[in-house]
Amino acid sequence: MAAKRSFKGGVHPLKRMHHGKILSENSAISACSVPDEVILPISQHIGAPAVPIVAAGDRVDMGQKIAEAGGFVSVPIFASVSGTVKSIEACSTLSGRPCDSIIIENDHEDRLSGDIVKPVRLAELSGQQIIDIIKEAGIVGLGGAAFPTHVKLSPPPEKKIDTLIVNGAECEPYLTADHRVMLEYPEEIVRGIKAMMKALNVKKAIIGIEANKRDAIDAILKYTHNENIDVTVLRVKYPQGAEKQLIDSVIDRQVPSGKLPMDVGCVVVNAGTAYQVSLAIEQGLPLYERVVTVTGAVNQPSNLMIRLGTPLSHVISHVGGFSGDVAKVISGGPMMGVSQQDLEAPIEKGSSGVLALTHKMAKATRESDCIRCCKCIEVCPMGLLPFLIDAHSNSNDFEAADKDSVFDCMECGACSYICPANRYLVQSIRLAKAELTAQRKKEKQ
Amino acid sequence: MDKFAMSSSPHVRASESTRRIMIDVIIALLPATVCGVYFFGIDALWIILVCVASAVGTEAVLQKLMRRKVTALDGSAALTGLLLALNLPVMAPGMLWLPFVGAAFAIAIVKQAFGGIGSNFLNPALAARALLMVSWPTAMTTWTMPVDAVSAATPLAALKYGGDALSPYLDMAVGNVGGTIGETSAIALIIGGLYLLIRRVIDWRIPGVFIATVALFTFIAGPEGLFTGDALYHMLGGGLMLGAIYMATDYSSAPMSNTGKIIFALGCGILTSVIRLWGGFPEGVSYSILLMNLVVPLLDKAFKPKLFGTSRRRAKFKGVTE
Q: CB-based contact (8 Å) between B304 and chain A?
A: yes
Asked if ipTM goes beyond 0.85, one says yes
Specify the amino acid at residue B210: F
> Which among A264, A339, A424 is the nearest to B5, CB-wise?
A339
Instruction: Report the pLDDT value the prediction gives residue A1, as an integer from 0 to 100.
Output: 46
Q: CB-based contact (8 Å) between B312 and chain A?
A: no
Q: CB-based contact (8 Å) between B68 and chain A?
A: no
Give the range of the structural domain holding residue A312, as residue numbers without chain letter: 288-358
Instruction: Report the pLDDT value the prediction gives residue B321, as an integer from 0 to 100.
Output: 40
* Domain B18-302 in CATH 1.10.3430: yes
Q: Is residue A60 part of a domain?
A: yes
Q: Is residue A22 part of a domain?
A: no
Are B307 and A382 a contacting pair at CB < 8 A?
A: yes
- Among residues A327, A358, A389, which one ends one of the domains? A358
Same domain? For A278 and A134 the reply is yes
Are B307 and A426 a contacting pair at CB < 8 A?
A: no
CA distance A341 to chain B (A): 5
Q: Is residue A426 part of a domain?
A: yes
Mapped to the 3 state alphabet, what secondary structure does chain B carry? CCCCCCCCCCCCCCCCCHHHHHHHHHHHHHHHHHHHHHHHCHHHHHHHHHHHHHHHHHHHHHHHHCCCCCCCCCCHHHHHHHHHHHCCCCCCHHHCHHHHHHHHHHHHHHHHHHCCCCCCCCCHHHHHHHHHHHHCHHHHCCCECCCCCCECCCHHHHHHHCCCCCCCHHHHHHCCCCCCCCCCCHHHHHHHHHHHHHCCCCCCHHHHHHHHHHHHHHHHEECCEECCCCHHHHHHCCCHHHHHHHHCCCHHHCCCCHHHHHHHHHHHHHHHHHHHHHCCCCCCHHHHHHHHHHHHHHHHHHCCCCCCCCCHHHHHCCCCCC
- The residue-averaged pLDDT of A207-224 equals 94
User: How many domains would you assign to chain A?
Assistant: 4
- Among residues A229, A262, A283, which one ends one of the domains? A283
Domain extent listing, chain B: 18-302
Say what the pTM is: 0.92
Label residue B151 by pLDDT band (50, 70, 90): low
Quick: pLDDT tens for A343-392.
Answer: 999 999 999 999 999 988 887 778 999 999 999 999 999 999 999 999 99
pLDDT higher than 80, residue B255: yes
Same domain? For A269 and A130 the reply is yes
Residue A167 CA to residue A169 CA, distance in Å, equals 6
Quick: pLDDT tens for B216-225.
Answer: 999 999 888 8
Instruction: Report the pLDDT value the prediction gives residue B322, as an integer from 0 to 100.
Output: 37
Same domain? For A266 and A304 the reply is no
Q: Is residue A365 part of a domain?
A: no
- Among residues A77, A106, A135, which one ends one of the domains? A106
pLDDT higher than 50, residue B319: no
Quick: pLDDT tens for B16-42.
Answer: 899 999 999 999 999 999 999 999 999
- The residue-averaged pLDDT of A287-304 equals 97
Q: Is residue A13 part of a domain?
A: no
Q: CB-based contact (8 Å) between B227 and chain A?
A: no
Are B11 and A335 a contacting pair at CB < 8 A?
A: yes
Q: CB-based contact (8 Å) between B142 and chain A?
A: no
Same domain? For A272 and A410 the reply is no
Same domain? For A129 and A249 the reply is yes
> Which among A328, A363, A383 is the nearest to B308, CB-wise?
A383
